[in-house]
Every structure is written in structure tokens, then in C-alpha cells.
Amino acid sequence: MTDRIGFIGLGIMGRPMARNLMKAGVPLTVWNRSRPGIDELAAEGASEGAGPADVASKSDIVITIVGDSPDVEEVALGPGGIVEGAHEALVHVDMTTMSPAVTRQIAERFGKAGVEMLDAPVSGGQQGAIDGTLSIMVGGKAEVLERCRPALAAMGRKITHCGPNGAGQTVKLCNQIAVSMINLGMCEALVFAAKNEIDPRVMIEAVSDGAARSWQMEKLAPRIVERDFAPGFKVAHQRKDLRLALEAAEAAGVELRGLALAHELFASLEAVGLGEEGTQALVKALERAAGVEVQ
């Protein structure tokens, strides 16, 4: 891989993703809004950038994975943003889950500055980021994706071109809609079993090889039984993604009632201080209503 890579956003996902690029032998320049991520990656051989514009000026491809749409706008187009470090053949690959509409607006602004953009949100959580097995959903020009594919392949196992700018974000929101519904069904099954005095471990074993088999039933349900709510993906982040999906659905004139319920439940968890727990904590909202605890 000959392209110089910049990486902005060294949080729970960004840090291991950047490490996998370094393992692939990529010259990496990094920046983050706080020091811990920068210090860790610099100690492992990355160069430190002075800010987004500086990272862009030293890179052929700049990858970002930050919090939400306003964060991407600031890093990309704000004062000292990527656009101020623009140069010929620069590509911005944004891997944040954010608004498809805002993605298209940023891509249009970049186009006027001669910068190509891919929206490339990911699925697979922290463990997928660590293992380099993320699923990456890409919007943008096919030829730009092919140029960036070696870098993406260092971080993910499945890379899918979904269409033009914004399409990657739209497909990621489809993923989040499906994931939240499966998570809700799994949690309801556990609460129903517990309320009926069925050992939840027996229920998990009984249904895991049938039509109810899912990643959530296999990976998250046993953690709920053990009362392990450490995050692979946080409640606050899931709630944010579902809000984005609801906003996009409203703009498209689509009513998604199940999604609205899941968003309401995740919002209720965040309201009582559980936003930093893993998404399996969804069960706690159901336990309160049922007067039972799965264990």
C-alpha cells in the first residue's frame, strides 16, 4: 500500500482500526480531540498531526470516525478542517455513522475543492474493529472505492459498494434498524422466560440452533444472564443511530413503528444514566416493566 493515510478519531472503534492499518505497514498520521488516543498510537509508531488540516496535507487518504454528523462537519469543513489541507487526489473516507443527507452535503462541498469522499460506516462493534473483521458499507464513486480498498481491507472483512454518496450511510441505518429489532426480540424472550420461571440459559440453548438463532442470542444473551453490561457498542451510540434512522425515515415518508419503540427504550436507559453500558442493557428497560430480573 503506497498511499499515506491520515486517521482522525481515536476512540473505542478508531484506535483498533488505526492499529490494523499500522500492522499492514501503512505510514499513519493521527489526530484526536483528546490526548490518550494520540499518545497510544504515537508510542506505537504513528506520526502526530497538528489538526485535521495538517493531517490532510500529509495524507493521500484521510479516514475519520467521530461522534455524529456535526462532528464530521466540523472536522471536514470547519476552521482548520480537512478541506483546508486539500490537495490534488485527496480522498476523505468517513466511517462515522451519520446522516445520509449531511454526508451528501459534505461530499458536494468537497467536490468544489477537488476532494473525493466516501461514506464508509461499519458494523461489527469493538471486537470487529480489534480483529479487523468489520463489515464496511460504502457510498461514493466505484473508482474511488477501488483506490481505497487496500486501506479498508486492513480494517474489514466485507466491503460492499452500496451506491453514490449517502448510500453507505443509508445501508448502515438499515443495519441498525435490523440489529435493534433483533436485540429487542432477544431481550423480550429472556424476560418472558424469566417471568415464567424458565432458566434463561436453558431457553438460550434450546432456541439457538433454530429459527431464532442470531448473533444477539449467541453473544449478548449469555452476557445478560451473567449481568455483564460492558459495552461492545454503547447504549448512547445505538440511541443516536436510531435517531438518525428515524429522521431519515421521516424524510422518506416511511413509518417504522418498531424502530420508534426501540429508540424510546434506548432513550429511557440513557435518561437514567445507562448510556455508557452495552446495548444488551436494553433488557433492563423490559425488566423494570415486568418486575423480573434475568439471571
Q: What is the pLDDT of residues 91-138, one digit of tens each?
A: 999 999 999 999 999 999 999 999 999 999 999 988 999 999 999 999
Give the CATH number of domain 5-164; options: 3.40.50.720, 2.40.50.840, 3.40.50.261, 1.10.1740.10.
3.40.50.720
% of the chain with per-residue pLDDT over 90: 96
Location of C-alpha cell 454526508? 103
| Contact between 9 and 96 (Cβ < 8 Å) | yes
158 is catalytic: no
Position 249 scores a pLDDT of 96
Structure confidence at residue 204 (pLDDT)? 97
Q: Does residue 255 carry a pLDDT above 70? A: yes
State residue 232's pLDDT score. Answer: 84
| Per-residue model confidence (pLDDT) at position 125 | 87
Distance CA 242, CA 119 (A): 18
Is the pLDDT at 280 greater than 80? The verdict is: yes
Q: What is the pLDDT of residues 155-194, one digit of tens each?
A: 999 999 999 999 999 999 999 999 999 999 999 999 999 9
- Pick the catalytic residue from 23, 158, 172, 195: 172
Q: Per-residue pLDDT tens for 47-99?
A: 999 999 999 999 999 999 999 999 999 999 999 999 999 999 999 999 999 99
Query: In the chain, where are the structural domains located?
Result: 5-164, 171-290
CATH of 171-290, one of 2.30.30.180, 2.60.120.200, 3.40.50.300, 1.10.1040.10: 1.10.1040.10
Supply the pLDDT for residue 270: 97
Residue 2 reports pLDDT greater than 90: no
Q: What is the pLDDT of the chain when averaged over all its residues?
A: 96
Q: How confident is the model at residue 1 (pLDDT cuts 50, 70, 90)?
A: low
